[in-house]
C-alpha cells in the first residue's frame, strides 16, 4: 500500500487563535502545506465568518447549513475546538495546546490576550521554542495600535483606493476598493512567510520568535510600483482606470461583441501586435516605437487600436493575437473562470466530503511540489467538531470533558 501524501509541513503544529480572514488565511496556507492546524473558536458562536452569509452551504437535506461561503473559503484542513478564553479552565486548555505547538497565530486587539495570560510572554513560559505571531490592523506600536481595522478601511487608508478605479471626470470615476479583500489576503500571505522564516531560523538557533504583522504595514508595502513612482518623482499617482501607469498599451479594448484585455509588455510584443493588425508602420512611428513614447502618446495610440479592434470579434482577435504571441484575453466572470480549460487542467476546483452529507467545493492551493505532494485536505470543520478528540490528546478524560462542557469552558 502506498503511503498517503504528506505535505512539506506535516511535522508542524499550529495553534490558530484567529478569526475573520487575514490570519485564518495564513492558517489555511499552512494547513494546505500539511501542517496540523487547530482552530480555537468561541463556544456557541465560533468564527464571525460562519455567519457572514448568505450564501450558506446547502446540506444533504437541501436546507442551508450554518457554514457561510466566507467561512468555507479560509478554513479547510483545520480541526475545530471551542474554548472560552475568559475562563481559567479554558486558559489552561490553550496553555496545554501551546506547549505542543510550533506556531501560534492570533489577531486579538493589543493587550487582550495578556489579560487572560495567553500573550506571547506567558505562552513562551510553557514553550520557549514557540513562534508567536500577532496580526492586527495597525501593529503593536504607534498611535493606532488599539484600534480595530477591516480590509475596506485599510484599502482606503493605505492608498490602494486612490489608485484603483476610473479617473475623475469619466463615467464611473472615483475611488474603488478591490473586488476581493486583498489586504486580508496579502496579510495572510506575509504572515505565512514570516512564521515559516522564523521556523527556519529556529531550526538553526533553537529559539522561537515573536512576529508583529500590521495590515496597514502590509498595504503600504504592497503599493509597490505606485509607491516608488511617487518616491522617485514626487508626483502623486492618480486613478487611471484599467490603463497601466508605466507600460502601454495595457488596457481594456472593445471588440464588435464585447471587451478584451490587451497586455503589451515590451517593444517586441508591440511590434508583433502591429504586424498582426496589419499596421506594421505603427511600430516604426516615433510616437509609439518605444514604451516611454507610447506612455506619453497613449491617448492617440488607444484611439488607433480601438478603431482596429472594433473590426474583430473577441474570439477572432484573441486567437489572432495568441498566434502572434501578444498577451490578450477575455474578462471572465467567476463562473467563466471555473470553466476555463487551463483552470480545469490545473485542478483548481476540488470537492471534499463535508459533515453535512454533501461534498463542499474548494478552490485548491496553487502550490505544486515535486518532492512533497500536497494532501487532499479535509473540509472546513463544523464548530467544535474535534473538541473531544483534541482534549483527549492533551490529557483530558471523558469525565473532565463533561465538566468543561457543563462549566461553559468549551
Measure the CA–CA gap between 98 and 16, rounded to whole angstroms: 10
Which helix (H) or strand (E) covers residue 153, if one does? helix 151-157
List 151, 184, 209, 251, catalytic entry: 184
State the cell numbers at 83: 474554548
Measure the CA–CA gap between 17 and 48, rounded to whole angstroms: 13
Using DSSP's 3-state secondary structure scheme, residue 93 falls into helix
> Which residues have CB under 8 Å from 26's CB, separation 6+?
18, 105, 133, 135, 187, 188, 189, 191, 192, 195
State the cell numbers at 109: 486587539
Give start and end residues of each alpha helix (H) in 234-378.
Answer: 267-276, 291-296, 298-309, 314-324, 334-337, 341-345
What's 166's DSSP letter?
B
Residue 101: φ, ψ to 5°? -90, 155
Measure the CA–CA gap between 103 and 13, rounded to whole angstroms: 7
Angle at 119 between CA 117 and CA 124, to 5 degrees: 95
Cα dihedral 23, 28, 31, 32, rounded to 10, equals -140
102 as an active site residue: the answer is no
Q: What is the DSSP string of 366-397?
A: S---SSSPPP-PPPPPPTTTTHHHHHHHTT--
Cβ contact 219:158 at 8 Å: yes
Strand partners, 56: 68
* Nearest residue to 372 (alpha-carbon basis) of 34, 36, 77: 34
Residue that is written with C-alpha cell 488607444 in the block: 302
Q: In what order do the strands lie in the sheet with 209-214?
A: 78-82, 36-41, 13-16, 103-106, 131-136, 209-214
> Which residues have CB under 8 Å from 63's CB, separation 6+?
none
Positions annotated as catalytic residues are 184
Amino acid at each position: 500500500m502506498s503511503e498517503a501524501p504528506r505535505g512539506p509541513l506535516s511535522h508542524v503544529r499550529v495553534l490558530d487563535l484567529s478569526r475573520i480572514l487575514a490570519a485564518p488565511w495564513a492558517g489555511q496556507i499552512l494547513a494546505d502545506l500539511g501542517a496540523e492546524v487547530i482552530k480555537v473558536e468561541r463556544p456557541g458562536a465560533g468564527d464571525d465568518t460562519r455567519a457572514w452569509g448568505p450564501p450558506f452551504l446547502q446540506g444533504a437535506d437541501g436546507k442551508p447549513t450554518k457554514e457561510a461561503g466566507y467561512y468555507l473559503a479560509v478554513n479547510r484542513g483545520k480541526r475545530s475546538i471551542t474554548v472560552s478564553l475568559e475562563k481559567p479552565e479554558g486558559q489552561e486548555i490553550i496553555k496545554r495546546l501551546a506547549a505542543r505547538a510550533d506556531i501560534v497565530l492570533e489577531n486579538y486587539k493589543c493587550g487582550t490576550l495578556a489579560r487572560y495570560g495567553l500573550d506571547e510572554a506567558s505562552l513562551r513560559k510553557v514553550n520557549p521554542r514557540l513562534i508567536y505571531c500577532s496580526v492586527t490592523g495597525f501593529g503593536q506600536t504607534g498611535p493606532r495600535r488599539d484600534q480595530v481595522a477591516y480590509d475596506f478601511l485599510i484599502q482606503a487608508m493605505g492608498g490602494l483606493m486612490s489608485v484603483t478605479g476610473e479617473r475623475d471626470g469619466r463615467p464611473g470615476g472615483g475611488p474603488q476598493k478591490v473586488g476581493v479583500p486583498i489586504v486580508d489576503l496579502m496579510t495572510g500571505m506575509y504572515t505565512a512567510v514570516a512564521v515559516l522564516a522564523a521556523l527556519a531560523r529556529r531550526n538553526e538557533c533553537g529559539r522561537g520568535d515573536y512576529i508583529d504583522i500590521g495590515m496597514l504595514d502590509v498595504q503600504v508595502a504592497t503599493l509597490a510600483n505606485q509607491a516608488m513612482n511617487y518616491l522617485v518623482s514626487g508626483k502623486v499617482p492618480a486613478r487611471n482606470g484599467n490603463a497601466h501607469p508605466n507600460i502601454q498599451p495595457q488596457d481594456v479594448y472593445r471588440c464588435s461583441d464585447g471587451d478584451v484585455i490587451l497586455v503589451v509588455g515590451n517593444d517586441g510584443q508591440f511590434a508583433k501586435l502591429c504586424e498582426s493588425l496589419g499596421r506594421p508602420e505603427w511600430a516604426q512611428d516615433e510616437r509609439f516605437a518605444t514604451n516611454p513614447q507610447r506612455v506619453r502618446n497613449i491617448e492617440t495610440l488607444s484611439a488607433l487600436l480601438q478603431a482596429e479592434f472594433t473590426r474583430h470579434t473577441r474570439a477572432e482577435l484573441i486567437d489572432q493575437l495568441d498566434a502572434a504571441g501578444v498577451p490578450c484575453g477575455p474578462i471572465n466572470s467567476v463562473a467563466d473562470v471555473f470553466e476555463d480549460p487551463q483552470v480545469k487542467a490545473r485542478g483548481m476546483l476540488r470537492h471534499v466530503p463535508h459533515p453535512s452529507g454533501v461534498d463542499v467545493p474548494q478552490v485548491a492551493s496553487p502550490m505544486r511540489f515535486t518532492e512533497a505532494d500536497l494532501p487532499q485536505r479535509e473540509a472546513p470543520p463544523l464548530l467544535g467538531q474535534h473538541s473531544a478528540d483534541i482534549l483527549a490528546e492533551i490529557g483530558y478524560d471523558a469525565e473532565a470533558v463533561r465538566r468543561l462542557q457543563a462549566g461553559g469552558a468549551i
